[in-house]
Amino acid sequence: MHSGIVYLVGAGPGDPGLLTLRGRECLQMAQVVVYDYLANEQLLNYAPEDAERIYAGKIGGRHNQDQDEINRLLVEKGLAGRVVVRLKGGDPFVFGRGGEECEALREAGVPFEIIPGVTAALGAAAYAGIPLTHRDFTASVAFVTGQEGKGKDESAIDWDRLSLGGGTVVFYMGITTLRRSMDRMIEHGRAPQTPVALVRWATTSGQQVVTGTIADIADKAEAAGFKPPAVTIVGDVVGLRERLRWFDNRPLSGRKIIVTRAADQAGEFSSLLARLGASVLECPTIELVEPESWDGLDAAISSLSGFSWLVLTSGNAVRFFFHRLDALGLDARALGGCKVCAVGPKTAEAARGFGIRCDLVPADYKAEGVVASFSGIDISGKKILYPRADRAREIIPQELEKLGARVTTPVAYRNILPDRLSPEAIFALEKRSVDCITFTSSSTVHNLTQMLGADLLVDMLKGVAVASIGPITSGTCRELGLKVDIEPHEYTLVELAEAIERHFSA
* Mode of pairing for the β-strands spanning 32-35 and 52-55: parallel
Catalytic residue among 58, 220, 339, 383: 58
Characterise 277 by phi-psi region: left (phi > 0), alpha (psi -120 to 50), beta (else).
Answer: left
Strand order across the beta sheet in which 436-439 lies: 279-282, 256-259, 436-439, 465-468
What is the DSSP secondary structure assignment for residue 50, as one 8-state letter? T
Catalytic residue among 15, 77, 173, 460: 173
Quick check: is 173 catalytic?
yes
Quick check: is 58 catalytic?
yes
- Tell me the C-alpha distance between 19 and 90, whole Å: 9
SS3 sequence, 417-430? CCCCCCHHHHHHHH
- Tell me the C-alpha distance between 277 and 236, whole Å: 27
Catalytic residue among 36, 182, 346, 382: 36
In contact, 399 and 323? CB cutoff 8 Å: no
Exposure of 472 by Cβ count < 10 A (0-12 exposed, 13-18 middle, 19+ buried)? Answer: middle
Quick check: is 66 catalytic?
no
Dihedral over Cα of 252, 134, 199, 53: its sign: positive
In contact, 178 and 217? CB cutoff 8 Å: yes
What is the DSSP secondary structure assignment for residue 90, as one 8-state letter? B
β-sheet bridge partners, residue 256: 279
Q: Which long-range contacts (CB under 8 A, 24 or more apart) does 260-267 make?
A: 260/284, 260/285, 260/286, 260/437, 260/438, 260/439, 260/440, 260/444, 260/448, 261/286, 261/438, 261/440, 261/444, 262/286, 262/287, 262/288, 263/287, 263/418, 264/288, 265/315, 265/316
- Residues tagged active-site: 36, 58, 173
